[in-house]
Amino acid sequence: MLLNGIFRPIGLVWVGMRHRLIRANRVKLKQVDLPRLGTLWVDDTLSFIGDNCLRTNLLTKLVLEKAVAGAVFEISSDNLSAIETIPFMLPNCNCEHLANVHEPTCIKIYVRKCETQIPPSESEHRPHGWQK
């Protein structure tokens, strides 16, 4: 009983650490050929097949904010309404939209995390309806 009380927390910590080590040492998943960009390595794939809008946008934003500069992501979904706003939220996450690829079963969006901060556009600083 005493040993179980000692080793159980250590085992739980190891499981958490092992998960982080595996994610930190992850190799490139696959190579894709995108129109006008050529061949790119995809660092991570976010599959939202069967998910709705809110989950797709929230998880995408969380992953992109924590990503390292230069990482390329593939976001796939079979629900167009769930991913149609993703290209518009990318500048807020310091990312750039690379391409959309329409496949028979899903739509894939390719995104790259930028190395430098994207300056906000002038229209974002003015309230709606104000003109220069």
CATH assignment of the domain containing 53: 3.30.110.40
Is 93 a domain residue?
A: yes
Is 47 a domain residue?
A: yes
> In 3D, which of 28, 32, 23 has the Cα closest to residue 109?
32
Residue with tokens 């391409």: 99
Is 3 a domain residue?
A: no
Tokens coding 52: 């709705």
Is 56 a domain residue?
A: yes
Could you read off the pLDDT tens digit of each residue along the chain, which spans 132 residues? 555 566 566 655 554 554 444 444 445 578 898 888 899 899 999 888 888 778 888 889 999 989 999 999 999 999 888 888 899 999 988 999 999 999 999 999 999 999 876 555 544 554 545 555
* Three-state secondary structure readout of 103-115: CCCCEEEEEEECC
Is 55 a domain residue?
A: yes
**Residues of the domain holding 36:** 27-117
Tokens coding 79: 């629900």
State the pLDDT at residue 72.
93
CA distance 54 to 47: 14
Q: Which long-range contacts (CB under 8 A, 24 or more apart) does 119-128 make?
A: 120/91, 121/91
Is 14 a domain residue?
A: no
Number of domains comprising the chain: 1
Query: How many C-alpha atoms does 33 have within 13 Å on its Cβ side?
Result: 0
Is 5 a domain residue?
A: no
Is 11 a domain residue?
A: no
State the pLDDT at residue 22.
43
